[in-house]
Amino acid sequence: MSAADIKNTELPAQPEDERKIDIAGHSGLLLVAAVMGLIANWVATGVSPVAALPGMVILYVVSVIGLALARFAPFYLPSVAWVSLVAILITIPGVPGAAYATEKVEALNFLALATPALAYGGLALTRNEFQIARHSGWKIVIVAICVMFGTYMGSVVIADLMLRIGG
């Protein structure tokens, strides 16, 4: 691939600076995502959006808190890490409301919640990304598959050994 191909283009390498994101705007977009999630869950599992709503409200609030922490916390962690940590915290047995939160989010199927993000992902590919994939050629495709296989199997082998040692 020549350098000219990747010049002056929008790149994923400059991710949004999470210390500057507009939380109100993102909360609005998150609302759209929540509705998508409810519908995906409905079609996938038959659980109506009304029945799944309390669970989705919990996930929505957790997500907004995660965004706010990524923005205002004294040290930086990506918002997805904050979202995960808050979600873990509110479901640890013994934490007030944990039983309620755990029960309500049960109504939502985790696979269905990933479907909208992947649909956006397919639509978000830029002309540039298609071009890079095409120009990089077959060698890069082989290396990329080795990279994915390598990271997975590397972790599997080490984790398996550790579990055998630890019992």
Residues of this chain, 36-95, that bind other proteins according to CB under 8 A: 36-37, 39-40, 43-44, 56, 58-60, 62-63, 66-67, 77-81, 83-93, 95
108 binds other proteins (CB under 8 A): yes
Count of residues engaged in binding other proteins, rule: CB under 8 A: 103
| Residue closer to other proteins (CB basis): 43 or 50 | 43
Which of 14, 17, 50, 74 touches other proteins (CB under 8 A)?
Answer: 14
Rounded Cα gap, residues 25 and 94, in angstroms: 34
| Residue closer to other proteins (CB basis): 46 or 72 | 46
For the bound state, the minimum distance from the C-beta of residue 74 to other proteins, rounded and expressed in Å, comes to 16
For the bound state, the minimum distance from the C-beta of residue 164 to other proteins, rounded and expressed in Å, comes to 8
29, 89, 22, 31: which is closest to 56 by C-alpha?
A: 31
For the bound state, the minimum distance from the C-beta of residue 92 to other proteins, rounded and expressed in Å, comes to 4
Question: Quick one: CA torsion of 107, 108, 112, 117, rounded to 10 degrees?
Answer: 160
For the bound state, the minimum distance from the C-beta of residue 69 to other proteins, rounded and expressed in Å, comes to 13
Give the distance, in angstroms, between the CA of residue 158 and the centroid of all CA atoms in the same chain: 25
Residue with tokens 């972790």: 155
Rounded Cα gap, residues 56 and 35, in angstroms: 9
Rounded Cα gap, residues 48 and 113, in angstroms: 14
| Residue closer to other proteins (CB basis): 72 or 121 | 121
Cα within 13 Å of Cα(92), Cβ side: 6
Which of 17, 20, 72, 139 touches other proteins (CB under 8 A)?
Answer: 139
133 binds other proteins (CB under 8 A): yes
For the bound state, the minimum distance from the C-beta of residue 62 to other proteins, rounded and expressed in Å, comes to 4
| Contact (CB, 8 A) for 26 and 80 | no
